[in-house]
Amino acid sequence: MHYPFLITCHGKPETPILTLRAHPVVFLTGGAVFLILFFVPFAAAALLPELTATLLESTVLGTGTVLLVSLYMLVVLLLGFNHFFNWFFDIWVVTNERIVDIDQEGVFSKKIGELELHKVQDVLAESHGVLATVFGYGRIKVETAGSHTEFAFDGLPKPYAVAKHILELAKADAPLHQGEAAAQH
Amino acid sequence: MIIPLYVLALVFLVPVAGVGIMGALKSKQLFAYGGAFSAFLATAVFWGGFALILLTTWSMLAGVDWTTPLLDLSVFLSPPV
């Protein structure tokens, strides 16, 4: 994986430690909707065989119907691919210095936010619902003290372990920035 | 003035090209990310589905007379009575 956003800090290049993405179940539950939509024309043809046969008998109506259904399926396929794309590229990269939140919104839009680990004050992990409990995913929220900045990620696998890991990294990073904090005061 | 059926096919090709271009752009970005298996699988499913849908459409429309009139607009061009 490429990390083009990494910076140099304390004279050393930043090291990526965790790459976090929503649980595959989160993708699959959304993907199931596209799968159902994809098979709607087949279900309609099976439920209404007479209407389908009548439509397909006519040259103009039949051609129009085939082209329209084909287009519908292509669009559903593209939307399903887009759903995967957004799930795949919606990631958090936790380095030894920062949490980088990469938020992909379609092909042409991307948002990157960052939160410095030494500013982390509180990490909240929570898991709600049957699927989340069974598959072990949940929401994680990272808060900073001063600027009221808040980072949240839904559907993250093992949220409690991740929260613990982030807090440990924040504690390890804090002493390296004590000089900066003193200079600000 | 008679608009033939192949106009419908030409109109159909525009959004199909759009879907193809969007799919290609997404595939390119997924490829650039690095060889994750899930990305490879999703790309293969998309292009497999894309090809399958177009081939099915092609085979279902085999034998269609594309010169069949789709719309007859001559009624608008005839002089008023």
Could you tell me which of B53, B11, B61 has the C-alpha nearest to residue A81? B53
pLDDT at A5: 66
Residues A102 and A133 in one domain: yes
Residues A58 and A137 in one domain: no
Provide, as residue numbers in chain A, all residues whose Cβ is less than 8 Å from the Cβ of B64: 59, 62-63
Taking the CA of residue B6 and the nearest CA in chain A, the distance in Å comes to 10
Q: Is residue A130 part of a domain?
A: yes
pLDDT at A76: 96
Q: Is residue A1 part of a domain?
A: no
Provide, as residue numbers in chain A, all residues whose Cβ is less than 8 Å from the Cβ of B46: 77-78, 80-81
Residues A67 and A106 in one domain: no
- Check B38 against A88: CB less than 8 A apart: yes
Q: Is residue A156 part of a domain?
A: yes
Q: Is residue A54 part of a domain?
A: yes
- CB atoms under 10 Å from CB of B42, counted, come to 23
How much is the mean pLDDT over chain A?
Answer: 87
pLDDT (average), residues A48-65: 90
> Is B76's pLDDT higher than 70?
yes
Q: Is residue A60 part of a domain?
A: yes
Contact by Cβ (8 Å): A86, A22: no
Residues A101 and A177 in one domain: yes
- Check A67 against B19: CB less than 8 A apart: no
pLDDT at A115: 87
pLDDT at B23: 95
Contact by Cβ (8 Å): A115, A149: yes
Final residue of a structural domain among A68, A85, A102: A85
pLDDT band at A155 (very low <50, low <70, confident <90, very high): very high
Contact by Cβ (8 Å): A119, A146: yes
Residues A121 and A173 in one domain: yes
Q: Could you tell me which residue, A67 or A145, shows the higher pLDDT?
A: A67
pLDDT band at A173 (very low <50, low <70, confident <90, very high): confident
pLDDT (average), residues B35-39: 86
Among chain B, residues having any CB pair with chain A shorter than 8 Å are 5, 8-9, 12, 15-16, 19, 22-23, 25-26, 29-30, 32-34, 36, 38-39, 42, 45-46, 49-50, 53-54, 56-57, 60-61, 64-65, 68, 70
- Check B8 against A66: CB less than 8 A apart: no
Q: Is residue A96 part of a domain?
A: yes
Residue A39's alpha-carbon distances to A53, A85, A155, B60, in angstroms, are 18, 21, 27, 18
Could you tell me which of A120, A127, A168, A169 has the C-alpha nearest to residue A142? A120
Residues A108 and A174 in one domain: yes
Residues A33 and A96 in one domain: no
pLDDT at B74: 76
Contact partners, residue B62, CB within 8 Å, separation at least 6: none
A114-124: pLDDT as tens digits: 888 888 888 99
Backbone φ and ψ of A8, nearest 5°: -100, 130
Residues A100 and A163 in one domain: yes
Residues A69 and A158 in one domain: no
> Is A143's pLDDT higher than 80?
yes
Could you tell me which of A160, A97, A147, A94 has the C-alpha nearest to residue A121? A147
Residues A142 and A98 in one domain: yes
Q: Where are the alpha helices (DSSP H) in A19-129?
A: 24-47, 49-57, 59-89
By residue range, what is the domain housing residue A178?
8-20+92-184
pLDDT band at A181 (very low <50, low <70, confident <90, very high): low
> Which residues does residue A123 pair with via DSSP β-bridges, in sequence order?
A142
CA–CA–CA angle A137, A138, A142 (5° rounding): 130
pLDDT band at A10 (very low <50, low <70, confident <90, very high): low
Residues A55 and A141 in one domain: no
CA–CA–CA angle A36, A103, B32 (5° rounding): 85
Q: Is residue A2 part of a domain?
A: no
Q: Could you tell me which residue, A57 or B24, shows the higher pLDDT?
A: B24
> Is A24's pLDDT higher than 90?
yes
Percentage above 70 pLDDT, chain A: 88
Final residue of a structural domain among A85, A116, A132: A85
Contact by Cβ (8 Å): A26, A54: no
Final residue of a structural domain among A58, A85, A112: A85
Distance CA B27, CA A128 (A): 34
Distance CA B36, CA B38 (A): 6
Taking the CA of residue B62 and the nearest CA in chain A, the distance in Å comes to 10
Which of B12, B23, B36 has its CB closest to that of A78?
Answer: B23
Q: Is residue A133 part of a domain?
A: yes
- Check A89 against B33: CB less than 8 A apart: yes
> Is A182's pLDDT higher than 90?
no
Instruction: Name the one residue in this structure whose structure tokens are 């759009």.
Output: B18
Residues A113 and A170 in one domain: yes
Percentage above 90 pLDDT, chain A: 50
Backbone φ and ψ of A111, nearest 5°: -125, 130
Distance CA A77, CA B26 (A): 13
Which of A59, A73, A84 has its CB closest to that of B65?
Answer: A59
Q: How far apart are the first and last CA of chain B?
A: 18
Distance CA A77, CA B48 (A): 10
> How many domains does one find in chain A?
2
CATH number of domain containing A154? 2.30.29
Percentage above 70 pLDDT, chain B: 95
